[in-house]
Structure 1
Amino acid sequence: MKDFGTTEELLIDYVEQLEETKVFELANHALDQGMNPLDLVNLIIEGMSRVGKRYEAKEYYIADLIMAGIIFRGVLELKPMTSYFSSHHKKKSGKVLLGTVKDDIHDIGKEIFRALLETHGFEVLDLGVDVSGETFVKKTREFKPDIIGLSGVLTSTIDQMKQVIDILAAAGLKDQVRIIAGANYLNADGCSYIGADAFATDASKGIEICLEWMKR
């Protein structure tokens, strides 16, 4: 088995440093040398997590988070990546409608979650950031998801999440889907308050929940 030790460290560092061109070049090289696309995704996620920590430490700004998201999407769209995931997931695991709620423009956690959903065979419609409850209702009717994922970083978004779920309930849609909320500050009490079916404080746990739901 090929040893990718140095390549792995460089990839993580390049993502953390937001070196877009270097990330793409090294990712392509690693894939050409036989790196498993799932391993590559995990490396990019580690780099993204470091970007998030630097943002929390006020070393990075919103623009840097956006840049990290662009890099992540770019890696996922490399031809070897799209070919691998399309061939391994001919049957979709389910449909997920995803968005960061109104008054929040942070999306690094959502980007990581979306990537993991797609690598596990889910069809994802990502509504982006600062998404209103009305937009969630409109897109739920159009896309007909199995799961709705609400993301938020700011603690104030707990009320926005509740508002989205209340609007979905008023529209008669809440009982047609499962709703998962993702935020570092959430706990069981917060999940109960907003009316979600589940919550996750990290993307990996969120994936476990979604996969379990789709088995039922």
Structure 2
Amino acid sequence: MCNDLLKQLGVCIERGKADAQSPHPADLKGQPGAAELTAKLLSAGVAPGEILQKAMIPAMKRLGDRFSQGLVFIPDLIIAAKAMKAAMQHLKPYFEAGEVQKKGTFVLGTVKGDLHDIGKNLVGMVLEGNGYRVIDLGVNVSSDRFLQTVEEHPDCRVGLSALLTTTMLYMDEIVKTVKSHFPQVPIFIGGAPVTPEFNQQIGANGYFPDPQQLVNFLETK
């Protein structure tokens, strides 16, 4: 029974079925969603870590792989994020109590001068769905703010986002500022105008055109 519930939860997250009231997708209308299934699994005694590892992470990986292949699109990721968050609300107390270990901490932010956050939010959603703790600094984030956050979490990884060619240049300052104090901290960059050549030029640790490629890289380290 629990295995069936885990499979159903994975389907709900992948297809964006947050709860029983969610009208999407149409063929699942009126059926339990991610929220109800997660609560039911916990009530049945399934460990929070097992729910994460056997249902949520595989679902996010499937969705991320399909996004990389151009088979699903940003709206699909957005509704999946809502379903994942609905499930995570039930798991959150266990994470906060330390009963479920995260894979690591990721500090995300859109760089100073840039107010775009869709890409950053998608990256955060995929990272959380794959078991990482995400500290989202929001938009228009200065190098000092990144540095302060890294000082508080020196074992973290950092992700920088920019949508404009003018603001992506500020990534260089952030990389230099953080690396001058914490050279061991990996810094990854992304955004529409960013290229592998620019990544190499500023000394960042990696550029990935979509969130799943970043997750796949982290899983090899």
> Which bracket does the TM-score occupy, shorter chain normalised?
0.5 to 0.7
> What is the CA deviation profile of residues 164-212 of structure 1, one whole-angstrom value per residue up to 9, with x for unaligned ones?
112224xx22412111112233222111122211111100011122233
- Does 1:176 find its partner at 2:184? yes
CA distance in 2, matches of 1:155, 1:76: 37
Q: 1:160 aligns with which of 170, 183, 203?
A: 170
CA distance in 2, matches of 1:133, 1:9: 35
Alignment-derived partner of residue 202 in structure 2 = 194
> 2:22 corresponds to which letter in structure 1?
K
- From the superposition, tell whether residues 160 and 51 of structure 1 become closer, same or farther in structure 2 (CA, over 3 Å): farther
- Does 1:112 find its partner at 2:122? yes
> What is the CA deviation profile of residues 88-114 of structure 1, one whole-angstrom value per residue up to 9, with x for unaligned ones?
x83332222211111222222222222
Superposition pairs of residues 12-161 of structure 1, within 5 angstroms: 12=16, 22=22, 26-29=33-36, 31=38, 36-38=55-57, 41=60, 49-50=74-75, 71=82, 74-75=85-86, 77-79=88-90, 81-82=91-92, 90-161=100-171
Instruction: Give the conservation status (yes or no) of the 8 Å contact 1:165–1:174.
Output: no
Instruction: Give the conservation status (yes or no) of the 8 Å contact 2:106–2:133.
Output: yes
CA distance in 1, matches of 2:13, 2:136: 30
CA distance in 1, matches of 2:206, 2:176: 15
Q: Normalising by structure 1, what TM-score?
A: 0.65
Q: SS at 1:175's partner residue?
A: coil
Q: Which residues of structure 1 form unaligned runs of 5+?
A: 16-20, 53-64
CA distance in 2, matches of 1:30, 1:100: 34
CA distance in 2, matches of 1:72, 1:113: 16
- Does 1:210 find its partner at 2:218? yes
> 1:28 corresponds to which letter in structure 2?
A
- Provide the identity percentage: 23
Q: SS at 2:158's partner residue?
A: strand
The more displaced of 101-110 and 117-126 is 117-126
> What is the CA deviation profile of residues 33-92 of structure 1, one whole-angstrom value per residue up to 9, with x for unaligned ones?
88933466579877871279xxxxxxxxxxxx9xx799477435431x5479789x8333
Alignment-derived partner of residue 60 in structure 1 = none
CA RMSD of aligned residues (A): 4.1
> 1:173 corresponds to which letter in structure 2?
H
CA distance in 2, matches of 1:29, 1:188: 42
Q: SS at 1:97's partner residue?
A: strand
The more displaced of 154-163 and 114-123 is 114-123
> 1:50 corresponds to which letter in structure 2?
P
Q: Normalising by structure 2, what TM-score?
A: 0.64
- From the superposition, tell whether residues 209 and 39 of structure 1 become closer, same or farther in structure 2 (CA, over 3 Å): closer
